Amino acid sequence: MAARSGPFFHIEGRRTSWPPAPRRALGDARIWVPRAQVDAGERPRLTTEESERLRQLERENKELRGANEILKSASAFSAAELDGRRPIA
């Protein structure tokens, strides 16, 4: 588990400056230790870097889909203008 030495903590053999709040230390350690194990490759999940990259790509994908919809609408409007046929509004 976590052992404290000065301003640093040693969690499962890793030295970190992660400062837990006194009342939340145990709960934070329950989250932080498994996350550190995943990042070290000891648990089979996405690492923190991989999760952040995935979130970034999902945001970018959402923006690109929105831009694509706008371009499709603009293209359809331009085609209708060039045809001379206008939808009755």
- What integer pLDDT is reported at residue 35 of this predicted model? 83
Give pLDDT tens digits for 20-34.
555 556 667 777 788
Q: What proportions of the chain, in percent to the nearest 5, are helix, strand and coil?
A: 55, 10, 30
Cα angle: 7, vertex 13, 15; to 5 degrees = 30
> What confidence tier does 87 reach under pLDDT thresholds 50, 70, 90?
low
The two three-digit tokens of residue 13, written as one number? 């053999």
Give pLDDT tens digits for 44-82.
888 889 999 999 999 999 999 999 999 999 998 888 887
Helical packing angle, 48-83 and 25-39, nearest 10° = 80
pTM of the complete model: 0.52
